[in-house]
């Protein structure tokens, strides 16, 4: 919990809702290393953060926390770029960051497989490279800061074991295909919940790409085809909130359970009011702290490689107030 209080207070609600992202034109700069041996030491380092998509509430939160945390480092200038949930755009942004000769690049992949060769190009160019939320496996020389997505899904799935009624009908909302976090969270739900509850029936399942609007559209169709849905099982909070909005005020859906992951401010409010059931926190403030520390340690030579995970506490109605209080202090939730 202390990690939330350290930097989260620096972010305003306006910044959370509307992040100003930097452009991506190619400029000249100094090489980040001398091509081998000791890394060149500088008075100021240019760091690019390539975010997955600002339409994703968690990605927007993380990008703002990155900006806030970078302000703590006098020798780091951070520029943020929006991948717009598009592999082509994100790959082009990585190429531009390499051409711009940034000293370090932090990459939040949209699709690990699609970004992998471009991330490897950054490493091969001698640029400090960190993958985050999610990490990308199979890259020689990259560092990573992430969470354990299986554990994130498992802690929520385990809570659902006793909450979802017998013989329940449920719907499942998945993240993007081949996304490390989405795949591992879904695997956790399979092993920790569905394998233990053979009485539960999945009446509909589809990919909503972390997107609230896509989840809303799917849930509108599902609620018409299935007048009895006992629970929404979502691989993130954004999709869960979209599904809930789709059935808001609809007869027969009062009391429907809803589960997510991320612990976003919106989700904590939904849990407090009893609309959403539970989520697990993926602390954007802690991720930002660890990413900037990793970049600084790698650039300064204090570390050669970094691989670290944040925690994933469960948020339910019983403890949601402590998180809401922290978000209010940060300006992410109005008083």
CATH code, domain carrying 117: 3.40.50.2300
Same domain, 17 and 91: yes
**pLDDT tens, residue by residue, 202-238:** 999 999 999 999 999 999 999 999 999 999 999 999 9
Same domain, 205 and 238: yes
Q: How far apart are CA 112 and CA 48, in angstroms?
A: 18
pLDDT > 90: percent of the chain: 79
* Amino acid 174: pLDDT: 98
From 51, 59, 72, 57, select the one nearest 7 (Cα to Cα): 72
Q: Is the pLDDT of residue 121 over 60?
A: yes
Instruction: Answer whether 121's CB lies under 8 Å from 98's CB.
Output: yes
The CA R_g of the chain, rounded to the nearest whole Å, is 20
**What's the mean pLDDT in 93-122?**
96
Residue corresponding to tokens 């809303």: 216
Write down which residue in 260, 280, 300 finishes a domain.
Answer: 280
**What's the mean pLDDT in 62-79?**
97
Q: Is the pLDDT of residue 335 over 80?
A: no
Same domain, 236 and 306: no
Highest mean pLDDT among 2-6, 39-43, 79-83 belongs to: 79-83
**Model-level pTM?**
0.80
Q: Is the pLDDT of residue 36 over 50?
A: no
Region label for 259, one of left (φ > 0), alpha (ψ between -120 and 50) or beta (otherwise): beta
Q: Is the pLDDT of residue 274 over 90?
A: yes
Tally of domains within the chain: 2
Top-confidence residue, 313 or 56: 313
Q: How far apart are CA 162 and CA 170, in angstroms?
A: 15
Q: How far apart are CA 53 and CA 83, in angstroms?
A: 5
* Amino acid 332: pLDDT: 84
Q: How confident is the model at residue 57 (pLDDT cuts 50, 70, 90)?
A: confident
* Amino acid 38: pLDDT: 67
Same domain, 302 and 180: no
Quote the domain boundaries for residue 161.
150-280
């Amino acid at each position: 919990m202390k990690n939330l209080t350290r930097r989260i207070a620096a972010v305003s609600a306006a910044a959370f809702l509307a992040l100003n992202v930097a452009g991506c034109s190619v400029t000249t700069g100094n090489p980040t290393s001398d091509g081998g041996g000791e890394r060149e030491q500088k008075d100021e380092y240019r760091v690019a953060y390539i975010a997955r998509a600002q339409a994703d509430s968690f990605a927007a939160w993380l990008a703002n926390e990155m900006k806030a945390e970078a302000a703590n480092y006098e020798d780091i200038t951070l520029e943020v770029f929006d991948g717009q949930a598009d592999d082509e755009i994100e790959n082009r942004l990585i190429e531009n960051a390499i051409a711009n000769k940034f000293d370090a690049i932090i990459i939040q992949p949209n699709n690990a497989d699609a970004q992998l060769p471009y991330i490897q190009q950054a490493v091969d160019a001698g640029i400090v490279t960190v993958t985050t939320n999610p990490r990308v496996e199979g890259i020689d020389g990259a560092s990573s800061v992430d969470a354990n997505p299986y554990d994130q899904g498992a802690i929520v799935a385990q809570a659902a074991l006793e909450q979802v009624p017998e013989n329940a009908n449920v719907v499942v909302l998945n993240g993007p295909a081949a996304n490390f976090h989405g795949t591992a969270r879904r695997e956790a739900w399979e092993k920790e919940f569905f394998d233990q509850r053979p009485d539960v029936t999945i009446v509909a399942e589809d990919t909503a790409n972390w997107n609230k609007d896509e989840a809303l559209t799917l849930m509108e169709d599902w609620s018409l085809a299935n007048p009895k849905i006992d629970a929404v099982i979502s691989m993130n909070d954004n999709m869960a909130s979209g599904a809930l909005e789709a059935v808001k005020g609809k007869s027969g859906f009062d009391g429907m359970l809803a589960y997510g992951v991320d612990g976003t401010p919106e989700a904590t409010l939904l849990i407090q009011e009893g609309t959403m059931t539970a989520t697990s926190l993926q602390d954007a403030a802690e991720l930002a702290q660890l990413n900037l520390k990793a970049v600084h340690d790698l650039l300064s030579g204090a570390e050669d490689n970094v691989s670290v995970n944040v925690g994933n506490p469960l948020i339910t109605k019983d403890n949601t107030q402590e998180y809401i209080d922290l978000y209010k202090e940060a300006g992410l939730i109005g008083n």
